[in-house]
Amino acid sequence: MKTFKILLLFVISFSLIGCASAQIKKRNTTEKSKNTNVKTNNKTANNKLMSVETKSLAEGAYSKVEEPFVFVAREQETYAQLQSIVENLPSASEIDFSKSAVVAAFAGTKNSGGYSVSIKNSAGKVFIEMINPPKDAMVTQVITTPFNVALIPLEENNPVNLELSANWKNVMQTYKIASGTFEYSGGIAGMRKEFGAEGAISILSFGNYATLVFNLAGKGANKNMKLADTASGSVKGGKIELARLGAGNFSENPKPPLKVSGTMTNGKLSLAFEPFPSRVADGFQARGKIEAVKTK
């Protein structure tokens, strides 16, 4: 009997040791899994952090542009126009315009060296700033035209929101909307909505090119509808052509971008907005017209 009790105690002890060992192993496995997840999440977070950084495509003290100007390219046609202004830019085939935009900023003529242009992307805005040389800096006594061209991470449907320093703001022309009508239509039920528009458009020009900064809103009950984006294109003989402008929430999803054409003569701006072909059957599309008058 005594031998049996000893054997029984041995079996029970062995079972308890086995259970404890299993629990420890399970806990260690869980902790290892947690640590792995933390590392993975940290790695993902770091990748996201890196993805919001701008990448310089070209920068220097001399450019063809002798006055403050900004140019934004969201697709290949407009990028080709920028390539005629800035030499040796990467091929358009190297840029994924569905995930990025190209922003170029030209400071204009400066009386000495030491100036540079900063382009930063933060909190959904692109900050463009003129960097002056320190007062006691030794600089070259030659005329310079500083510039910077940067690749900005940006999803296709997101707007380019510019924050410009005084170097560019002071030379912008502003047009106030005198009249504007828009509509969007589409959907399975064939929905259609018309509304008025108000707001302003700011313009920077250089030679045969212009950049328009749109700040439009619906009128009255539609005041929460916004179209705020920046687009660049050609201006020849007073005729404007912008290859791509985001529709904002002037349309329901999938709201394809807009092509803009019109005239800018004698202090008056007249623009027509037409949608890209929708990629989705029964998708919504926006179109409209505005007339604006120069105020600055």
Q: How far is Cα 74 from Cα 102, in angstroms, rounded to an integer?
A: 7
Residue 157, amino acid = N
CB atoms within 10 A of CB 249: 16
| pLDDT one-digit tens code per residue, 78-130 | 999 999 999 999 999 999 999 999 999 999 999 999 999 999 999 899 999 99
User: Tokens for 58?
Assistant: 């070209």
The CATH architecture one would assign to domain 173-294 is Beta Barrel (2.40)
Instruction: DSSP letter for 239, please.
Output: E
The DSSP bridge partners found for residue 217 are: 198, 226
Residue 272, amino acid = A
Indicate the domain borders of the chain. 55-169, 173-294
Residue 120 contacts residue 130 (beta carbons within 8 Å): no
| pLDDT one-digit tens code per residue, 213-249 | 999 999 999 999 999 999 999 999 999 999 999 999 9
Residue 212, amino acid = L
Residue 224 contacts residue 218 (beta carbons within 8 Å): yes
Q: Is a pLDDT exceeding 60 seen at residue 254? A: yes
